[in-house]
Structure 1
Amino acid sequence: MKQDKAVDETMSPASADHAARFVTQGRLARVRGQNILFSPSQRAIFAVNDTAADIWRSLEEGTSPQAISVEMARSGVDRLEANRHVEAALGDWQRLSLIRPCAPFSPSSAQEPVSQVVAVAGLTIRIVYPAACAFPAVSVFRHLEVRTETADILLQVVEHEGRVHLFRDGDWILSCSRDELPVMLKGQLLTEVLDHGAYELALHAAALVGNERLVLLCGNPGAGKTTLTLALIHAGFGFASDDVTLLDAKGHGVGLPFAPAVKAGAWPLVAEYYPDIDAVPICRRPDRRRVRFAVPGQFVPPSPAPIGSVIQLRRGRDAKACLEPVDPASALRVLLNGASAPGRELSGAAFDVLTQLIGSAQTYRLTYSKLDDAIELIAKACR
């Protein structure tokens, strides 16, 4: 197909909005009579029919979706059917991140956009939402808001054809469904901090404050880190971070106080410590698992604090509650699991910071099945 500038007046309104060009982010090949799409970013293979393959090749040539539909109609395909083919292909490929828009679209709504400036680890980031997409994402980050006219980074959210697109300083970053937006924005804010923040080492650990020192909670997925974090906040610990803690050159920690994302299976447990959890809007992760964001009522200001304790979580059904000391080498292995540094490579200086931390902090392994037992043991050891 070649690009045609003619406008088909019988096209649906949805198709008429397809003025934007798309950039393909995959490779199309024909192997033994079969059309195969390859996604380098996902390392995934998708089989497509001949019609979809023709649409893909036209997108590669820079043809607009509207012009593709017109050309298909001129080749003998029913006009409405051509529109449906193009719309279905674009929808699938955007969902799979195989294509992306070339540039931000003009706002389609007459409503004023919603602007929010948040501060995380010394960075100020402005997020601009269409009014229709602002909630609940804007409420998930409201506790991080600051009043300033300037920002280091601009993130722009744009809705187009049922998908939400995120642009960073005018460049496309990702697309997702509307209910995935809070999760994806949280991930992007974390990426901004890790790429541009000032720190020596980022640890995959929750951080709470007790007795003016940080208590780090580490554990594999499913160890109950988020639930235990909320339970400890309810028990009087200060909230500093749910998932990532930064270390400075002195080995002091700064939490990233993003709202904890509570998975559906933990909602009944969390309700005791966060009574409003059932009223919180449901969001989706990219794997479509449901989560609710438990936005903290208050959190500890993000200033460096010494690490008092490092606790590795090990949850098991009917396990006897036990908090036992861990030797330095084992504690280092736990902290290095998932740790990252500026430039993504752990330097000798970063390792020195980590060994300094382990040398001054208490290190434990917590085995538990009941939250009340875990809270009692941690409170006794860390206060």
Structure 2
Amino acid sequence: MEIDLSGQGGEAFPWLESQLASAPGVRRLRVGERSVLFCERRQQLFELNATADTIWRSLAAGHAPSMVVHEVRALGASPAEALSFVIASARSWLAAGLLAPAEVAARCGQTPDAEIHLRLSELTCTLALHGPAHDPLWRELELVFTQFLTARSEGSAHISLVCEAGHVFLFFAGAPLGLFTIDQLIPEVKAILTEAISRSLSDGWFLLHAALLRCGHRGLLISGAPGAGKTTLALALAARGLGYGSDDIVTVSPAGHLRGIPFSPAVKSGGWELAAAHAPQVLGLPIHRRGDGQQVRYVPIDCFAKGDVETLGWALILDRRPDAKPRIEPIEPLAMIAELISGAYCPSHVLRADTLDAFAAGFGGADCRRLIYADLTQAVALIEEMIGG
């Protein structure tokens, strides 16, 4: 019996006649009576039911999805069910980076249509773009990452973006990372760069989940739980003239010096109206979708804080509460340090005592406070009063 692949399901999946190759480090395992896929890169197991197991084994053997449909049909599925099963399975594995179309992987190894070269702290990275050079996506990548643009560097990390059928395949060092829609792309590239930065840190360095700004030669470090408002506050303070170091990631050197990774502030949908009071352009910027489902807009910044911050002037913990009376309360430096290192990342997963000693020494002359607030404008006024006093 012939299976009609020309219907809506077939049109929605452009790789029915393609060979889908399994990614390096992906292996099918048999555990008792059950089958799983193990992805070495993700360090994850993906369980396969009997139909999915048949589909994976057939795809891994080099059969095109259209041929696999016939194999699933032989198991007793109707033509429509077989087509739906194969497309759903293949699409999920493509999205997870477990598979990639052979022709797309081949394009990844060819000369790109354009390249963007970046330097982020000690990390150098090349974004290789395979697609129309006039595609507005490339211009948007340059705008969001413009602060990192640099000359070509040998030995840099390599991210390839291959446009295909209205989607983009991402590859890192030649290995597939997944299939993404256009609105998912920039958040995903940022996530890849963030992970690459963390892996590139030399011994003795560590990362803080914090915002960093500069006032004169002194730094302002801002910590807080997710949703406390670090990004909108950092954006508002930068709009008021402080040097912008980061809204999210700060590196600490073995000497205790701070350096922000100045990704463009990613303002979540709930903060767009608040941010617009300080950066009106935010409401007209493209909307992107992060891996956690949050919608964000990336706001370009002009006033960057270049170089390391060697002297910490102020450190704040944010405490946003509905209807709270805005106030700044002093806290012990030890409480501030404990808050910061609780979310710190070290490449060796061990924070060295000498590095922590140097970091803690920087708090000797710092003004450590807790900022309790509900309104962004009032919070900005309190901080300006604090750093101007």
Q: What is the TM-score with the length of structure 2 in the denominator?
A: 0.83
Cα offset, 1:62, TM superposition: 5.2
Q: What residue number does 1:100 align with? A: 99
The residue identity in structure 2 corresponding to 1:168 is F
Q: What residue number does 1:113 align with? A: 113
Cα offset, 1:152, TM superposition: 1.5
1:294 to 296, 299, 322: 299
- Taking the TM superposition and a 5 Å limit, the aligned residue runs for 1:339-350 are 339-350=344-355
Q: What is the TM-score with the length of structure 1 in the denominator?
A: 0.84
Q: Is the 8 A contact 1:102 1:172 kept in 2?
A: no
- Taking the TM superposition and a 5 Å limit, the aligned residue runs for 1:276-287 are 276-287=281-292
Cα offset, 1:105, TM superposition: 2.0
Q: What residue number does 2:215 align with? A: 210
Matches of 1:93 and 1:146, distance apart in 2:
35
Q: 1:331 to 1:15 in 2, by over 3 A?
A: closer
Q: What residue number does 2:366 align with? A: 361
Q: What residue number does 2:312 align with? A: 307
Q: What residue number does 2:19 align with? A: 19
The residue identity in structure 2 corresponding to 1:358 is F
Matches of 1:266 and 1:10, distance apart in 2:
45
- CA deviations 1:115-155 (Å, max 9, x no partner) are 11111002221101234553533421122211336451111
RMSD in angstroms over aligned alpha carbons? 3.4
Unaligned runs of 5+ in 2: none
- CA deviations 1:309-355 (Å, max 9, x no partner) are 11100111121121122112211211112111232221212321232
- Taking the TM superposition and a 5 Å limit, the aligned residue runs for 1:246-285 are 246-285=251-290
Cα offset, 1:283, TM superposition: 0.4
- Say whether 1:53 aligns with 2:57: no
Matches of 1:208 and 1:151, distance apart in 2:
31
Q: Is the 8 A contact 2:218 2:309 kept in 1?
A: no
Q: 1:213 to 1:136 in 2, by over 3 A?
A: same
- Say whether 1:373 aligns with 2:378: yes
- CA deviations 1:284-314 (Å, max 9, x no partner) are 0112221111121331224443221111001
Matches of 2:248 and 2:35, distance apart in 1:
39
Q: What residue number does 1:153 align with? A: 157
Matches of 2:229 and 2:359, distance apart in 1:
24
Cα offset, 1:102, TM superposition: 8.1
Matched length: 370
Q: What residue number does 1:4 align with? A: none
Matches of 1:77 and 1:377, distance apart in 2:
66
Q: Is the 8 A contact 1:162 1:177 kept in 2?
A: yes
- CA deviations 1:226-274 (Å, max 9, x no partner) are 1111111111111111101111222111110001111101101111111
Q: 1:42 to 1:250 in 2, by over 3 A?
A: closer
Q: 1:156 to 1:106 in 2, by over 3 A?
A: same
- Taking the TM superposition and a 5 Å limit, the aligned residue runs for 1:233-248 are 233-248=238-253
- Taking the TM superposition and a 5 Å limit, the aligned residue runs for 1:218-233 are 218-233=223-238
Q: Is the 8 A contact 1:256 1:302 kept in 2?
A: no
